[in-house]
Amino acid sequence: MRNNTPVHWAVVVLASAGLHGAGCSQQRPPAPVAPPVRVAVGHTLGSPVPLAPPGGAGGEALVVTVTGYAADPATLPPGEPLAARARLVVDSAGQPVATAPAAAERVTLLADVSALRTPTSTGKGASTIQVVRSPLPPGCTVLLSFSAAVGRAGAGDDAGVRLAIVSPTAAGSDRPGLLVTARQSAEDPAASEAAPVSRDRTVLLDWPSATLDGEFALVFPPAPGARLPVATVFRVRVEGAAGDPEAAQASARIAEELSEQGRAAGASLGNSLASAITSSAPPGLRRALAGVCAELHADVTFEASLLAEDKDLPALVSPVAQALAAAPADAETGQLAWLADRATLEALAKPAGGGEASAPLRAMLSARFGEVGRDAGAVSELAAASPSRADFDARVRAENVILLDDASPAARVRAFEWTSRQDPKGTLKGYEPMGPAPQRRQAIENYLQSLSPATQPASTAPGGSHE
């Protein structure tokens, strides 16, 4: 789960620098030109996009230094579009797509910064410099968000680009991972008519340097129609934090804060999954519920979601979403799965419009829970009384053992077939569903004595309606 935080250790410096090729000689130096694009720094635990295979928990803390300044485009060396180095492009749902967003296409990558002129505080057309220095803890990612400078309202939201530098341990590599994310707007040629809502697209790039540390640059072109057509250069340098106690301490602090936020985010998994269901439109309701079930391994709910008719699906989804939303804050996935399945079993006992559940759903209950499963109301009562799946399984087993001595031969046969499938050791020996009652009861008693205390049903005294 993603956990972004604006908390970071960073040093920001604004200074005057030479902007070559802009302006003309004056007696008084011109006012510094602010870069049209600014950068902000954040961190996330792990990688925004999973990069397999995952790395270990160890690793070296790194330091990322970003230097941004305005420059005359004519003085910059040629580079290549970011998308030219793309290994893969995925959308915000993690699905591979064919094209990178246009905003990322416009940004140029300079893998070799040796040809860049170093900005100075003298010369024609001074520029302010933004320097941001931030640690990159092992197993984490530094997020660099680029947007239009203040004063150009709204422009940065649509054209914003995010650069993620993933630590080697989170990238599962000996070098950092590099991800570039931008919004695929409706105006982009690659925007799909089938999905008019704009989505983020992430471009996975190879690390520009042959070593773990290194330096590269991003060049943002002048904005169309800008009064002063200047580009913005961001030089990005990554190096080890060894020998820098302040950076090492800041790295450890950030990693701890992100871990705490990750634990808090994980504790609200029930609410997140409930929102994923309730926010889905009816056409995608079945798919959304199936996706939640797959994540939790809620097998009963998953099967019911596949078998339920369209008209009955909302009555199934609503109690499941309510149960997940009301789950304890520290509920783990196993407990959430049982809460979802319990809500499903209770919902199947109260089908929409009255009556009983559909034939496929009734067959599912019978196959899963034996003779007791033929009564949806009885299964619902057992589920409601069970705080855990293990307790529910024990209750279902006990009810089927009791039904081995039922007055109905058909009920005894079905209970015997189900109980035999749950008894791979074959300890239910000597029982014949059509045999005399004393013989059946003796076989049941022997079966109960063969069970260990941990697996013996809690309420298994033969009873009910005897012959």
Residues 139, 33: Cα–Cα separation, whole Å: 38
Instruction: Note whether 363 and 313 are same-domain residues.
Output: yes
204: amino acid identity, one letter: L
How many domains, in total, are found in the chain? 3
Region 264-285: what's the mean pLDDT?
74
Q: Do both 296 and 156 map to the same domain? A: no
94 pLDDT above the threshold of 90: no
Three-state DSSP at 72 gives: coil
Range of the domain at 66: 4-266
Q: Given pLDDT bands bounded at 50, 70 and 90, which one contains residue 380?
A: very high
CA distances from 364 to 213, 300, 420 (A): 58, 9, 18
Residue 341: the pLDDT is 95
Q: Say if residue 171 is in the same domain as residue 229.
A: yes
Q: What is the mean pLDDT of the chain?
A: 78
Ordered DSSP codes for 256-298: HHHHHHHHHHHHTHHHHHHHHHHTS-GGGHHHHHHHHHHHHT-
- Which of 344, 369, 394 terminates a domain? The answer is 369
**pLDDT interval class at 331 (50, 70, 90):** confident
Whether 376 maps to a domain, the answer reads no
In a domain, 211, yes or no: yes
Please report the DSSP string for 110-135 in residue order.
Answer: ES--TTSPPP-SSSSSEEEEEEEEEE
Question: Does any domain span residue 426?
Answer: yes
Residues 340 and 358 occupy one common structural domain? yes
DSSP three-state, residue 102: helix
- Out of 321, 339, 369, a domain closes at 369
The structure's pTM equals: 0.54
Asked if residue 381 belongs to a domain, the reply is no
Are 175 and 213 part of one and the same domain?
yes
Same domain for 321 and 217: no
**Is residue 88 located within the same domain as residue 186?**
yes
Q: Does one domain contain both 444 and 335?
A: no
Judgement on whether residues 321 and 401 belong to the same structural domain of the protein: no
Query: Is residue 306 located within the same domain as residue 401?
Result: no
Instruction: Tell me how far apart the alpha carbons of residues 407 and 2 are, in angstroms, rounded to a whole number.
Output: 57
Contact 37, 150 (CB under 8 A): no
Residues 55 and 140 occupy one common structural domain: yes
Give the model's confidence band at 79: pLDDT under 50 very low, under 70 low, under 90 confident, else very high: confident
Q: Is residue 374 part of a domain?
A: no
Question: Is pLDDT at 300 greater than 90 in this prediction?
Answer: yes
95 and 74 within one domain: yes
